[in-house]
A and B are shown apart, each in its own frame.
Chain A
Amino acid sequence: MGHYVPHTDDELARMLAFIGLTSLDELFDAVPQAMRLAGGLDLAPGLSEFETLDEMERLAGRNNACGPDLVCFAGAGAYDHEVPAAVKRLAFRSEFVTAYTPYQPEVAQGVLQTLFEYQTLIARLSGVEVANASLYDGASACVEAVNLAVAATGSQRVLLSQGVHPTWREVVRTFAQGTGHEIVEVPLANGVSDWSHGASDHSESAGAVVVQYPNHLGCIEDLAQARAVADRMGALLVVAFDPVAMGVLKTPGAYGADVVVGEGQPFGTPLSFGGPYLGLFACRMEHVRRLPGRLVGETVDTVGRRAYVTTLRTREQDIRREKASSNVCTNQTLIAVVCAIQLGWLGTGGLRELALRCARATRYTRESLLAIDGVQPAADAPVLREFAVRTPVPAETIVERMADEGFLAGVPLAEEYGGGLLVAATERRTKDEIDRYAGAFEKVIR
């Protein structure tokens, strides 16, 4: 059994005597006897640390993890990027890992200043003025953006592009059961949002227009057009962006986005079977009082030294209670810390280089696959770091067969996209890997 309870038998006896009890059992006298658990928890007895790790390694060994034996060409919102040693070492420091939410700023300047730097970096990448201190993941950030837009406009009608990640859309619909928002899906045409679809409906007002940039198929959406659609309907423009793409694309803010959300996993967080990831959330300053979650601001201490503190606290659930527009409390601070450190490591030049390398690997992979007889592009719209192809055999079959060849081939697309395979190549992928991937691909579709 793990020994994380420090009390000796002698101390237990002394402490019980101090409070006038004779047994540990008496500590729970307030719990009615009838409901007390007889015979203890139905769980195995505790293990040593080493046996516990053995079991965790056994479970880990049953997975096909990405690495040299399973070269990753899957993306779809979870990307296989390099994580440098500096980020790993710093992010595992106890002071970051084992701190609580910075409620006492005088002893939390480390986390607070890091979050202030993180907010600055995310605001710059988004192209809008202010970012919060993180949300759970891309999907939850998308939900909160919709809620902000509805509150700001008074319209519960939400136009949601089908180019937004399918699980994010599902999460938006799940939470709309509580808020009662009306979710209207906008289909894709040739890989990008078709705003003309049911155009007469779009002349009505709406609270939010939500578009992903680049979108789920990897295609670069026309944000100027999305902005115009939002303007016509009196809606806020919510852009779900890929932060890595900001190394080479115009920012959503440059197109007039009101709220910018995204998934921060690509900056320093391993694939992690999908979590913990990082919900990026940024918006124009005019909406700052509706910003969900925590916000760090700069101020001074009693003698005028620069200091940081969570601010505009009156927005938050613990103060507004039932009048709150968001219930977020615990967020993903440690992952935001990782993101800030990784962005610092990349720097201005490294971020551009990262995006260029992803784009080069993606173009080379796409051209290699399209050279295979029977493989067709799913869309002609320009792509950046991910693309979709149609294949003569089902995508699920390709993924299964490619695993035997040492590749995670991609992510099969849902029926709503007409099927196909979504493929991503990051800065980690080399020409040699891509050539071998394309060779295996050709083999498995025969």
Chain B
Amino acid sequence: MKATSIPLMGRAEEPTLFELSEPGRTAWSFREQALPEWSLEELVPAEHRGDEPVPVAEVSERDLVGHFTRLTHRQYSVDLGAYPLGSCTMKYNPKLCDDAAALPGLANVHPSAPAAMTQGWMELLDDLAEALCRITGMSACTLQPPAGAAGELTGLLLMRAWHEAQGRQRTKVIIPDSAHGTNPASVTLGGYQTVTVPSDDRGCVDLAALRSVLDEDVAGIMLTNPNTLGLFEEEITEIAAAVHDVGGLLYYDGANLNAILGVVRPGDMGFDIVHMNLHKTFAVPHGGGGPGAGPVAVSQRLASFLPGPLPRRGSDGQYQWFTPERSIGRIHSWHGNALALARAWSYILVNGGDGLLRVAEAAVLNANWLRHRLRGVYDIPFDRPNMHEFVASTRSLKKSDGLRALDVAKRLLEEGFHSPTVYFPLIVEEALMIEPTETESLQTLEDLADALERIARSPEDAAEAPRTTPVGRVDEARAARHLIPTWDARPVA
């Protein structure tokens, strides 16, 4: 019998906190301060005073806990089952990392405390930065970016500062048409124009097309390798040489770093700037959409531009903060998502160099096994050895049976699995981007493949899916047309 998350999913509608509210009901308690009982009027000048309290909610602790617990029963998660979302690397997150991040000696440290009082944190951050440099083949690393997109923008600002220091103005950044959407958005916010290069018929950057757009206006190129089709850019050496020849820099989008841990390093491919998604590769749990962490590592020639402050061990063994000489400036209020960084460090320690290689090997093996298993069931537009993910398509099934990628996604939810990423990358019609990750066992892969095959073989009722989930297919168009972003914005009945 197969493990399934279905029985756990709450089917009953859950009222909002505001509907559960009853005037005068409370959950709060505070310690006795034994201070003078100055009144609101004594504490706040009349011109600033909010005389009526802001309405929040009024519930008991029991109702509060019941409410949010019932909501968790309406939520899928990695701990419940497989999550083969391409490019998202939804691997199992070891519980050890939760315990590490909850240590009071880490969690209760004030970010403004002087360096002498935060030596443990500074050592941790320095150790992590060093390990990330060794994993990526880079020289220096900032841990401040709180997510991948923030890392991208940091990288682009580094690119800009570097070119300016060379006394040149560059205007364009190249990205492939298979890139994540954050790439072009970051390029715009970095003050550059995006130039898109097409993929060739093998799914990789079209080298001739790239060469045709390379000129003295190009600041650099942003690449994901393996790319979003799960394919390794085999001509990366030639790409790097061509971009470097015009004085451009190579930016590595680390969304797919999981595939190459211990196998090859972006630095050895010729990259100058690398961001990593610690919430993908290094098992920081995704939290329903964050917090993540997006450290940026750079080659030696860019090190002096990194955001500061950075921890540095002095000759006396004590850590001090320093800001690199030509720093672009801070990109986070403090030191980045520190507790997420602590989780990643514990994950690297527990795996070690040997364990991280096993991660990459199993991730790539799982994805290749699944691609082979689904041959003849779905279209596989680029059917050759892939890395950690691959892209399937319902192009033929749509023609023959009307089965769209979206229908497969919704039917798979009924089967107790999360769905793959759909309609991405944009260059594949009816795309199903599948990344099983290394933590799913062969049994799980077999169950997933069986489920996907059942869906393809009996596509008749797929349009009605999902029927076993807490709610049926959600009306997204209505949400946008009649916008209700808060409880207070609901039309009065």
Contact = CB atoms under 8 A, between A and B. Distances in A.
A298 B153 contact: no
A327 B185 contact: yes
A1 B359 contact: no
A436 to B, nearest CB: 13
B487 A263 contact: no
A430 B35 CA distance: 7
Contact of B92 (A4, A28, A137): A4
17 contacts: A2-B94, A2-B350, A32-B236, A43-B348, A53-B346, A57-B105, A113-B74, A136-B290, A248-B49, A273-B110, A288-B485, A302-B475, A327-B182, A337-B288, A364-B36, A384-B43, A408-B117
B493 interface: no
A177 B328 contact: yes
A348 B58 contact: yes
B147 to A, nearest CB: 4
Contacts of B90: 100
A285 to B, nearest CB: 8
Interface string A306-348: 1111011110111111111011111111110100110111111
A320 B184 CA distance: 9
A135 to B, nearest CB: 9
A377 interface: no
B304 interface: no
Residue with the highest number of chain B CB atoms closer than 10 Å, among A40, A45, A307: A307
Given A98-B285, A102-B289, A296-B485, A7 B362 contact: yes
Nearest to A62: B120
Interface stretch (A11-19, A196-204, A231-239, A437-445): A11-19
B292 interface: yes
Nearest to A127: B54
B121 A322 contact: no
Interface stretch (B23-31, B207-215, B243-251): B23-31
Contacts of B290: 101, 134, 136, 276, 330-335
Given A275-B146, A344-B56, A106 B263 contact: no
Interface string B181-193: 1101111111101
A308 to B, nearest CB: 8
Nearest to B483: A297
A247 B124 contact: no
A275 B119 contact: no
Contacts of A370: none
Nearest to A295: B485
A249 B48 contact: yes
A425 to B, nearest CB: 9
B213 to A, nearest CB: 15
The 3 closest A-B pairs by CB, nearest first: A274-B334, A60-B105, A110-B75
Contacts of B94: 2, 4, 49
Contacts of A41: 134-135, 261-262, 353, 356-357
A220 B103 contact: no
Interface string B464-493: 101001111111101110111111111000
Contacts of A4: 91-92, 94, 283, 351, 359, 438-439
A2 B91 CA distance: 14
A418 interface: no
Given A327-B149, A335-B287, 10 more contacts: A12-B365, A61-B120, A74-B113, A94-B78, A101-B290, A138-B333, A180-B191, A276-B339, A322-B187, A327-B185
Nearest to B334: A274
Given A270-B107, A346-B56, A408 B264 contact: no
Interface string A242-257: 0000111111001000
B321 to A, nearest CB: 13
Contacts of B263: 28, 31, 36-37
A149 interface: no
B63 to A, nearest CB: 9
Interface in A1-45: 1-2, 4-7, 11-12, 14-16, 18-19, 24, 27-32, 34-37, 40-45
A446 interface: no
Contacts of B120: 58-63
A170 B330 contact: yes
Contact of B352 (A29, A47, A351): A47
A190 interface: no
**Contact-residue size bin, chain A (C-beta under 8 Å from the other chain):** 35 or more
**Contact-residue size bin, chain B (C-beta under 8 Å from the other chain):** 35 or more
A67 B333 contact: no
Contacts of B279: 330
Contacts of A309: 474-476, 479
A104 B365 contact: no
Contacts of B473: 106, 301-302
B38 A136 contact: no
Given A95-B75, A114-B71, A273 B121 contact: yes
A99 B288 contact: yes
Contacts of A431: 33-35
A247 B54 CA distance: 7
B365 A15 contact: yes
Nearest to A223: B48
Interface string A398-418: 011001000010010000000
Interface in A57-102: 57-67, 70, 72, 74, 76-78, 80, 82, 84, 86, 89-90, 92-102
Contact of A120 (B18, B69, B73): B18
A429 interface: yes
A119 interface: yes
Given A2-B351, A400-B116, A431-B33, A130 B485 contact: yes
Contacts of A62: 105, 119-120, 123
Given A24-B365, A271-B107, A300-B478, A100 B288 contact: yes
B241 interface: no
Contact of B489 (A129, A359, A403): A129
B250 to A, nearest CB: 13
A432 B191 CA distance: 54
Given A31-B264, A277-B333, A97 B113 contact: no
A294 to B, nearest CB: 7
B17 interface: yes
A136 B355 contact: no
A174 B331 contact: yes
Interface in B188-239: 188-191, 193-194, 231-232, 234, 236-237
B361 A408 contact: no
A348 B56 contact: yes
Contacts of B40: 248, 352, 356
Contacts of A35: 236-237, 264, 268-269
A9 to B, nearest CB: 12
B176 interface: no
Contacts of A52: 96, 100, 346, 349-350
Contact of B64 (A15, A60, A86, A333): A86
